[in-house]
Chains A and B, each alone.
Chain A
Amino acid sequence: MTLSLPDFVPAAPEIVLLAMVCFILVADLFLPDERRHVSLGLTLATLAALVVVQLADMQEGSRTTFNGMFVDDQLSDVLKVFIYLGVAAILVYSRHYTRSRDMFRGEFFSLSLFATLGMMVMVSAGSLLLLYLGLELLSLSLYSMVALRRDSASATEAAMKYFVLGALASGLLLYGMSMVYGGAHSLNLAEIAKAFQQDAFTDSAGKNWPINKDLLVFGIVFIVAGLGFKLGAVPFHMWVPDVYQGAPTAVTVLIGSAPKLAALAFALRILVEGLGAPALLSQWQGMLAILAFLSMAVGNITAIAQSNVKRMLAYSTIAQMGFLLLGILAGSKVGYGAAMFYAVVYMLMSLGAFGMILVLSREGFEAEELDDFRGLNQRDRWYAFLMLLVMFSLAGIPILVGFWAKLAVLQAAFAAGYTWLVVAAVLFSLIGAFYYLRVIKLMYFDDPVDTTPIVATIDQRALITANGLALLLLGIAPGWLLALCQRAIQASL
């Protein structure tokens, strides 16, 4: 028997990242506290290197390696680049915040990178097993990051809640996956897809196995439930507000931004690539429609009642994930492209919103109540303007890019025949506009309560400026990003 090595090149970014995490983990041990920024520098350098490796590695067509477990296609390339950029932005935003809260440690950086690795694995997974591994790597890193401030009662509580519910979701997911495995006799997504095109499955011994469709539908229910947990879609959303509010903001932004891209890839891989056969498609479409409707309803309506910005943004996330699901449940490539565009845009918006909270927070003070935004226009016109852009974009008001994201998913869902859902979606987005407007009202119409000058370093200022203006500029010229997402989907699914 000859030992053949798998092709490592498609997984080069993952390998580089893993090597660097190990290096940073060890190197950090030898750094005194006042030199901790070296770790941050190394982490950022790693992410920059990954962008370079990924772009150098980018090519037409898709490759698989590790016996089809690992896929490297355009979808994964594009999503990974955005994940690197997102995580790097988070680390820059949270530099001050973590330093003043005794979180500026090696663990924070290495766990962020492990979470990134988890997301990358999810994005590139070609089999159920790898999907699950990536998800767990991401989740476990996030659980421990939420609890990083172990002396904070709310953070510990949030971590416990997140862990228990996350573990439950993983259990549901695994249960669903096991049923799919039972039906398809394979963990490989491509083979699962092939199996469901026929009514019977022939194994390597030449024996015919009938395919049990009822079992599959049952399995899909569990998979969709697990996916709902991870996305934070109603009725599996209970953890979202508590975790968003309880976790340190630097971690909240990590939970609320880049992982949504990974969750999207997860949904596309398992539902579309694996279970995309027409008979199954109609099954999960209906389930997602209900999740989407409930998410938009509960998310938007409950957000109105919040006085804590992080909690309000949590409910806003739930509602936005409902919109994201509209794209997926359209069940067409146009829809998946729209969903991908939505996820990328959403990441930008949530980075902007949480980034602003991080910038406004200072030692011993969390700018997380709505009142902390009161009169921001009089304290700093530029920040207020950027936050205005973020809020109008979240509300989906043109000319900001949030509008094009909503238009894309609505168009796809409409084309798929979900007229009632589209009408419901626009009505809920009207309700949503109310609480986004309230933030603008506080910033522009009211007088400040807190007049402490806002101190932010030049890099944070530059980043939040770039982030806010990106929403405006992408709104004026959304064509290329839409086309990029569409091309990636066309080439990969």
Chain B
Amino acid sequence: MLLGLPLLSLVVWAPIVAGVLVLLTGPDRNAASARRLALIGSIVGLLVALPLWSQFDPAVHGMQFVERVPWIGRFGIHYHLGIDGISLLLILLNCFTTVLVVLAGWKVIESRVAQYMASFLILSGIMNGVFCALDGALFYVFFESTLIPMFIIIGVWGGPSRVYAAVKFFLYTLLGSLLTLVALIYLYNTTGSFGLLEWQQAKLGMTAQVLIFLAFLMAFAVKVPMWPVHTWLPDAHVEAPTGGSVVLAAVMLKLGGYGFLRLSLPIVPDASLQLAGFVIALSLIAVVYIGLVALVQTDLKKLIAYSSISHMGFVTMGIFLFNPWGAEGAVIQMVSHGFVSGALFLCVGVLYDRMHSRQIADYGGVVNTMPVFAAFFMLFAMANCGLPATSGFVGEFLVTLGAMKVSFWYAAFGATTLVFGAAYTLWMYKRVVFGAVANRHVAELEDIDLREGVILAALVAAVLFFGIYPQPMSAVLHTSVSDLLAHVAKSKLP
């Protein structure tokens, strides 16, 4: 551990403290300092996360960088943090995304700047907390607290029907997680502890396991989101400001996938195995049906939102295949989806800032006026289709491989995403970017400036690097995933 610093606490609290400092800059006349402070805060947040990467030992079994302090004696709740390879990747993704989001909101957000920037910083810290929490109550507290900043982000800086979207987002996700709370209380009453690691060892009967699994499924399926509880996502994405959409797609959806890996699988393995077919069926419906739904969207953000749901279907399927290809592929797909969907929402944001329209029909021939942007957009569109040499390919390939090991039909249905994904993404790209200049507004477009260029270039680097050389990710994941699968393979029935 570097200089004996509690690195994980830094990763969680540095952004939150930075957020509070940004809030203290007060009203909009200090907007410039709020922006600068937020950028510094987000970069500090990323910097404190980097030692995690350099000092993480991929060969070690179990949790690393562990911190454990008693928190609430009455319930035996501990402030217990620790990460494995799965958490590490998601934490880095989160810290990276936060910097981009702060930059993306630099010029666009003009009202209540301090509150905007602070919301994102605080949200980033809280989500890091979810990824490191090793105590059930701590996990729940972080998991739920994410709702507060996101609710504010959508509701204050969102589009015309932002109130509807924000309330729908909040209540939908709250419904899911409240039943999880009941499951957590049950686990506490049975084991006398809130520790996730203790729960992973506890013996549980089949009925209890199934009920707990379903309670967890409610929370995580809403968060992922899986069909049929996905309907909040298109609304939230469409109404949220660009930064909100980026964080939502890039990081927040991963809380669901992470929850499956950290809670559902290890705590109730028998129920997970028993109900895997059910979850995979839901995932395949998401992949195929939502892929088709994406095809008919006329709104850019909605299209990308549905594409997100379809891609996250791959993640949940990978998790419930119970083989190394599936699970590793799922995590890699989560990270890659974080880059790609974040990038696509940023691209839509670039267009929206100029045209104030998200309708595909309002665009056409953008390449004539914004050639640099068109090139970036092209690359992300390709990554969204899962083109080899982009990060989108690696995860989808691994999951399909894993699915093939289990059942031909899983793989066959799953692979349709390559067709549908290409169809809706490329068709959208064609309508927006290619062709003759569609109207006067498109003719007046200006190409991206340096700030936007830097944001998109950073994402291009990430997408290409992990597409061509995914080894660093799988190296970090390998031990954690194989330990997890070994744990799941052991029955916990009493």
Contacts and interface: CB of A to CB of B under 8 A. Distances in A.
Interface in B117-150: 137, 140-142, 144-145, 147-148
Contacts, number: 90
Contact of A433 (B145, B166, B170): B170
A422 B188 CA distance: 14
Interface string B188-208: 110000000000000000000
| Interface of chain A: mostly helix, strand, loop or mixed | helix
Contact of B189 (A403, A414, A441, A486): A414
B72 A398 contact: no
Given A445-B163, A483-B73, A483-B74, A429 B178 contact: yes
A430 B181 contact: no
Interface in B66-122: 71-75, 112, 115
B152 interface: yes
B182 interface: yes
B58 to A, nearest CB: 33
Interface string A434-466: 100110110011000000000000000000000
A493 interface: no
A367 interface: no
A174 interface: no
A157 B449 CA distance: 67
Most chain B beta carbons < 10 A, residue from A381, A430, A482: A430
Nearest to B129: A399
A7 to B, nearest CB: 34
Contacts of B188: 411
B492 interface: no
A130 interface: no
Interface residues of B, number: 37
Contacts of B145: 397-399
Chain B at the A interface: SS class: helix
A411 B175 CA distance: 18
A433 B181 contact: no
A436 to B, nearest CB: 10
A441 B179 contact: no
A32 to B, nearest CB: 43
B404 to A, nearest CB: 40
Given A403-B141, A433-B170, A434-B171, A444 B156 contact: yes
A453 to B, nearest CB: 15
A433 B170 CA distance: 9
B163 A411 contact: no
B261 to A, nearest CB: 22
A423 interface: yes
Given A399-B145, A479-B72, A483-B73, A414 B182 contact: yes
A478 interface: yes
A414 to B, nearest CB: 5
Contacts of A414: 182, 185-186, 189
A31 interface: no
Nearest to A395: B174
Contacts of A445: 155-156, 162-163, 166
A282 to B, nearest CB: 20
B163 A430 contact: no
A438 B75 CA distance: 32
B176 to A, nearest CB: 10
A254 interface: no
B473 interface: no
B151 interface: yes
A433 B174 contact: yes
Given A397-B144, A430-B175, A433-B170, A411 B75 contact: yes
B155 A444 contact: yes
A9 interface: no
Given A398-B141, A398-B144, A411 B185 contact: yes
Contacts of A38: none
Contacts of B348: none
Nearest to A475: B141
B152 A433 contact: no
A399 B167 CA distance: 19
Contacts of B170: 433, 437
Interface in A388-427: 392, 397-399, 403-404, 407-408, 410-411, 414-415, 419, 422-423, 426-427
A478 B138 CA distance: 13
Give the residue among B137, B140, B163 with the most A Cβ atoms within 10 A: B163
A363 B460 CA distance: 61
Contact of A441 (B166, B174, B186): B166
A479 B182 contact: no
A381 B27 CA distance: 9
Contacts of A482: 72-75
A477 B162 CA distance: 34
Contacts of B142: 398
A377 B112 CA distance: 10
A478 B148 CA distance: 20
Contacts of B75: 407-408, 411, 482
A415 B181 CA distance: 14
Question: Looking at B71, B148, B166, B171, which has the most chain A CB atoms within 10 Å of its CB?
Answer: B148
Interface string B152-174: 10011000001100110011001
A441 B165 CA distance: 12
Contacts of B148: 392, 397
Contacts of A410: 181-182, 185
B185 A444 contact: no
A381 B189 CA distance: 42
A358 B121 CA distance: 33
The interface centre, meaning the residue of A397, A419, A422 with most chain B CB atoms within 10 A of its CB, is A397
A399 B141 contact: yes
A50 B485 CA distance: 62
Nearest to B155: A445
B218 to A, nearest CB: 11
Interface string B225-255: 0000000000000000000000000000000
Given A397-B147, A426-B179, A426-B181, 6 more contacts: A337-B74, A398-B141, A407-B137, A408-B75, A411-B75, A437-B167
Q: Which 6 pairs, one residue from A and one from B, show the smallest C-beta to C-beta distance?
A: A398-B141, A426-B178, A482-B74, A479-B72, A445-B155, A398-B144
Interface of A: 337, 377, 381, 392, 397-399, 403-404, 407-408, 410-411, 414-415, 419, 422-423, 426-427, 429-430, 433-434, 437-438, 440-441, 444-445, 478-479, 482-483, 486
15 contacts: A337-B74, A381-B27, A398-B141, A398-B142, A399-B145, A407-B75, A407-B181, A408-B74, A410-B181, A410-B182, A422-B185, A444-B156, A482-B72, A482-B73, A482-B74
